[in-house]
Structure 1
Amino acid sequence: MTLTCETEATSQQLDDQLQFCFFRDDQALDLGCGSDPVLQVPTVWRKDSGSYWCEAKTSAQKVTRSPRIQIQVQGVPVWNVSLETQPPEGQVQKGKKLVLICLATQGTGHITFSWYKGALGLNLETKTQRSLSANFEIPRVTESDSEKYYCTADNGYGPSVSELVSITVRSPVSRPILTLKVPGAQVFPGDMVELHCEAHGGSPPILYQFYHENVTLGSSSAPSGGASFNLSLTMEHSGNYSCEADNGLGAQHSEVVTLNITVPVEDREELLTSGILEGLLGVLGPTIMALFCCWLKKKIG
């Protein structure tokens, strides 16, 4: 707001430096009187409403006063209220801090902000401050804080309400358990084994990965109940198995499970026969060759 004190100065007054003073309701404004006939008021509030006037005085203390004018400062209602979250998108990890930020695009004076939980509107907090935004914090969220929230802002012209914002509290996965489902007490080549990995705690979806001797076999995502992986066994599949569960809040690994594959009896006999023959050839081979050489020399002689 700009206040200007205008005078119809005489030729004598033009030679004399005038001093200008500004008043509101009989109280002097600014730091006193000065030579500038213009006074800038950077920001006005409703309390600045009142009767304004000015006076000009010469060095001889001759004072001329202006008529009074009434100035009424009108407040701007709060408009376009929104609710933002920190972390963004309403996704927060269990045990972490959640900040609900209530924002207004415009509005003057002191604004009263209120935060509500649920569609029925459970009031969480109310605060009044001279600002277009205010924060409400939940230091450590739990699963019960997963809900819809909204806020209101009011500066005396009626509350303006934000839209509902959904908050989802996510929990890290627990350590998964790996189980091997086999057809019998012993496992043979050609059998089908089911690897089942399940984390009993943690927010879905959960990505499960299966490993054999730290080599990835496959992966599967599941909303609940764990995930399975089927494997047709060969002799090379003996060894240690494990799995991993991850929902984006940190991966967890299961304990190692060992799988021993039994060699069938007929395969054992073949292996045993093959081993005996190899052993005999290894031991008798040089003797047979020596006898053959002796026989061949006699034949030639």
Structure 2
Amino acid sequence: MPPAVSPWVVFTLLWLTPPVVTPVSRQYETAPKSVISLEPPWTTFFQGETVTLTCYGFGFNLPQKTKWYWNSKIVGEIQGHTFKVRMSGVHQCQADNLHLSIPVHLHFSKDPLVLRGPPAVFEGDSVVLRCHAKKGTSRKTLTFYKNGVPLESSGQSSELAIQHADQRANGQYRCTVKETFWSKISSNTVRVHVQELFPRPVLMVRPSELTDGSPVTLTCRTQLPAQKSNAQLQFCFFRDLQALGSGCRSSPEFHIPAIWTEDVMPYQCTAETMDAQVSKRSLPIKMTVQRAFADFQIHIIPASRLVFEGQLLLFNCSVKGVPGPITLSWYKRDKLNNKTKITKSSEAEFTISRVNGSDAGDYYCEASNSRRSFVSKAVTITIKVPVARPVLTLRVPGAQNVVGDVLELHCEALGGSPPILYHFYYQNVTLGSSSALSGGRGSFNFSVTAEHSGSFFCEADNGQGPQRSDTLALSVIDTTKNRRVPVAAGVAGGLLAVAGAAAGVLLYCWFSRRAGGKSASGDSRNPSYSEPQEPTYYNVPACIELQPVYSNEPKEEVIYTEVRCTLQRCKPAVAINTVSLLIPVAPPVGLPALLLP
């Protein structure tokens, strides 16, 4: 605004500029109209006085050209922006190519007394009404009236002041002066109507859809009239009647960096003048905040979630929907549902360079910000441990068995992740298989015959490569083809063993506990010694000698095979254990057989 324009001119200028607003993107902007100011800033004058009209462009810019109108007729176009008038009527101007200004009603009075007041009065204004008399008119008994009622005597003062105008100041005002004891002169009437400085503010929220942690901008919106657009307002914001921020501010906006569901309380704002003479509070609003939904993306290597012992295991966690700043952490939950935070895990990536069996379990990612934590779904990691080298064992039901009895081959890997599949082989030919779903051992049963001499072994496999046991060599000797044992029939202390059509198996074996243990000439040769458990034969590389056990049954006539059990030391690659079984066969007719110890 040019510095030469007085405050009263500005007041009149603003009064003559009505608020023409158009909603544009939730904001308001004034249409570019021309504006007229008056000097002096009155609309009522004595006849013969001169009023200077000044035409401004939008934003109080001085125009290059100005058109002037009187009673809607153009009266001239000048290069300047001022125009002097002395005629009553309606005056307008047009600055450059802008719209016409609003009409200005001027009145030049012939009366000797004039009451002058401001064109408009707003709440909070300090109003001055001035009673002017022509020269020669007595002012000794000047009186002001409101709605026909004389006000308190003002003495010789020609001004009536109304401080901080409100609705109580509304009314019809005039002034009088007494010329003689019987006569007085009355002025024109000035109607004072105190207008609202600004409407009750409306608190607006941006954006309209909110989620946990979203930034929010509160706007305390109100509208000053054009006549008072130079008034300074300040704005205060409240949550549940508690002031936000450090106090009131000149900006109508207040920024909340993040809002949460627990912050959903009534919000309000106030707009007030700088002297707080006029203050208005908005209606409370309650924002709707959707609870945040964390969208986790977890990537692992290997993607199958089945990791072999010794492999690399890598986790990567990313999350959307959680406002930052956030901290990512990794946790592991074991079978007992115990939660353990992984050391040095406050990163999106977590790596185990070489996994082992203890690394199996449920892993999940946690995203935390300043207000709460969000947890991802658990990722179950299974660690596959390779099988250990299995041990093959042979079990027989008892010390004496008949041809056709079932012998059991057991194969057991003492280490490895289930399920484990066991394969049994005889002379490199597959006999069958057995599966252990939850660990343990596999078994295979077969009926023993004289033809079962040969090598047995087993394999264990859980998908990470098979492991083969040592070889167990089974030797079945038919004494009908070997007569060395029956020749010893004359030795003292011999036992007679006679069998019928159903022949029995005589089998006994003693294993040394370690290298250099008891020899075959130990207690096991004592006829009074008996083994209480079922005999079991392991493919353990140690010296083993199978001992014969004899039964003296004089009514039976049976020829027994020779019983031998030897464990040979084998090459480093594969150990071969030998077990000899005594298989009874029917003797030739009329030929008895004696076996002596």
Specify the TM-score bucket, using the shorter chain as the normaliser: 0.5 to 0.7
- Taking the TM superposition and a 5 Å limit, the aligned residue runs for 1:232-251 are 232-251=447-466
Which whole-Å deviations, capped at 9, do the CAs of 1:15-65 have from their partners, x for residues lacking one? xxxxxxxxxxxxxxxxxxxxxxxxxxxxxxx9xx9xxxxxxxxxxxxxxxx
How far the C-alpha of 1:91 sits from its partner, in A, is 2.4
Matched, 1:137 2:351: yes
Name the structure 1 match of 2:376. Answer: 162
Could you tell me which residue of structure 1 aligns to residue 408 of structure 2? 194
Report the Cα offset of residue 224 of structure 1: 3.0
SS of equivalent residue, structure 2 residue 451: helix
In 2: Cα distance, 1:158 partner to 1:205 partner: 42
Cα pair 2:314 2:351 within 8 Å, conserved = yes
1:193 positional shift: 1.6
Determine if the alignment matches structure 1 residue 229 to structure 2 residue 444: yes
**Partner SS state of residue 96, structure 1:** coil
**Higher RCO (CA-CA < 8 Å; seq separation 6+):** 1
Inter-partner Cα distance in structure 1 for 2:308 and 2:447: 39
Alpha-carbon distance in 1 for matches of 2:293, 2:368: 6
- 1:207 CA drift (Å): 0.7
Whether 2:306 is the aligned partner of 1:91: answer yes
In structure 2, C-alpha distance between the alignment counterparts of 1:230 and 1:268, rounded to whole Å = 25
Matching residue of 1:122: 340
User: How has the CA–CA distance of structure 1 residues 155 and 183 changed in structure 2, closer, same or farther, with 3 Å as cutoff?
Assistant: closer
The answer to whether the 8 A contact 1:187-1:262 is kept is: no
**Partner in structure 1 of residue 235 of structure 2:** none
Please give the alpha-carbon distance, in whole angstroms, between the structure 2 residues aligned to 1:120 and 1:214.
48
Question: Are 1:152 and 2:366 an aligned pair?
Answer: yes
Q: Which residue in 2 is equivalent to 1:260?
A: 475
Contact 1:209 1:244 in 2 (8 A): yes
Equivalences for 1:31-180 in 2 at 5 Å? 79-106=294-321, 111-118=326-333, 119-124=337-342, 125-127=344-346, 134-154=348-368, 158-180=372-394
How many Å separate the matches in 2 of 1:148 and 1:123?
A: 12
Q: CA deviation at 1:84?
A: 4.3
SS in 2 for 1:88: coil
Which residues of structure 1 form unaligned runs of 5+? 1-45, 50-69, 129-133, 274-301
* CA-CA distance at 1:173 after TM superposition: 0.7
CA distance change for structure 1 residues 83 and 99 in 2, over 3 Å: closer, same or farther?
same
Q: Which residue of 1 aligns with 2:395?
A: 181
C-alpha separation in 2, matches of 1:187 and 1:180: 14
Distance 1:263 1:192, change over 3 A: farther
8 Å contact from structure 1 (residues 186, 261) kept in 2:
no
Instruction: Give the 3-state SS of the residue equivalent to 2:463 in structure 1.
Output: coil
TM-score by length of 2: 0.30
Provide the C-alpha distance between the structure 1 equivalents of 2:301 and 2:362, rounded to a whole number of angstroms.
15
- Shift of the 158–168 alpha-carbon distance from structure 1 to 2, 3 Å rule, reads same
CA contact (8 A) 1:194 1:229 kept: yes
Alpha-carbon distance in structure 2 between the residues aligned to 1:71 and 1:140: 53
Q: Distance in 2 between matches of 1:71 and 1:233?
A: 94
Question: How far off its partner does 1:175 sit?
Answer: 0.3
The structure-2 alpha-carbon separation of the partners of 1:89 and 1:200, relative to structure 1 and needing over 3 Å to count, comes to same
Q: CA deviation at 1:114?
A: 0.8
What is the RMSD computed on CA atoms of the aligned residues? 4.3
Deviation of the 1:189 alpha carbon: 4.7
CA contact (8 A) 2:453 2:475 kept: yes
Give the greater-gyration-radius structure (CA). Answer: 2
Q: Distance in 2 between matches of 1:213 and 1:146?
A: 39
Q: CA 1:212 to 1:73, structure 2 compared with 1: closer, same or farther past 3 Å?
A: farther
Which SS does the other structure have where 1:260 is aligned?
strand
Q: Percent sequence identity over matched residues?
A: 44
Matched position secondary structure for 1:224 = coil
Deviation, 1:253, is: 0.3
Residue-pair matches, total: 213
Alpha carbons 1:85, 1:98 under 8 Å: kept: yes
Tell me by how many angstroms 1:127 deviates. 3.6
Contact 1:80 1:104 in 2 (8 A): yes
The structural deviation recorded for 1:237 is 2.0
Deviation at 1:204, TM superposition (A): 1.5
CA distance in 2 between partners of 1:204 and 1:101 (Å): 28
Would you say the 8 A contact 1:78–1:153 is kept in 2? Answer: no
When the two structures are superposed, what TM-score results if normalisation uses the length of structure 1?
Answer: 0.56
> 2: CA distance between counterparts of 1:161 and 1:235?
67
Is contact 2:328-2:345 (8 Å) kept?
Answer: yes
Match of 1:212 in 2: 426
Cα deviations by residue, 1:59-93 (Å, 9 ceiling, x for unpaired): xxxxxxxxxxx997978967222544322353222
Call closer, same or farther: CA 1:192–1:120 in 2, change over 3 Å.
closer
Higher helix share: 1
d(CA) in 2 for partners of 1:177, 1:258: 14
Please state how far the C-alpha of 1:198 moved relative to its aligned partner: 0.7
Instruction: Assess if the C-alpha contact under 8 Å between 2:457 and 2:472 holds in 1.
Output: yes
- AA matched with 2:429: V
CA gap 1:126/1:189 in 2 versus in 1, 3 angstroms? closer
In structure 2, stretches of 5+ residues that fail to align are: 1-213, 218-252, 260-291, 481-558, 560-584, 592-597
SS in 2 for 1:249: coil
Deviations 1:126-155 (A, max 9, x none): 446xxxxx3211112233222322111245
Work out the CA distance in 2 between the residues paired with 1:235 and 1:163: 62
Q: Letter of the aligned partner of 1:248 in structure 2?
A: G
Supply the AA of the counterpart residue of 1:122.
Answer: T
